[in-house]
Structure 1
């Protein structure tokens, strides 16, 4: 049973400690944007 502590099979101290440290993730994003509308002539 994966939740033995919740079911009363083991104490919370016997369960695996929960890692509260944030996980660092490197995200590489490439955005390709093109504008098809011709801007109005200003003046």
Structure 2
């Protein structure tokens, strides 16, 4: 289901959790850079 089509908060939360769970390490870093800026420090 799509976040915008979710009928309540429980379903929206499930959509977000599923999206995050599907991320690879690289895609998570790329997503973080898009949301927060490219500087992720030396965490990895």
Q: TM-score normalised to the size of structure 1?
A: 0.24
Q: Which has the higher helix share?
A: 2
Q: Which has the larger radius of gyration?
A: 1
Q: TM-score normalised to the size of structure 2?
A: 0.23
Higher relative contact order, structure no. (Cα contacts within 8 Å, ≥ 6 residues apart): 2
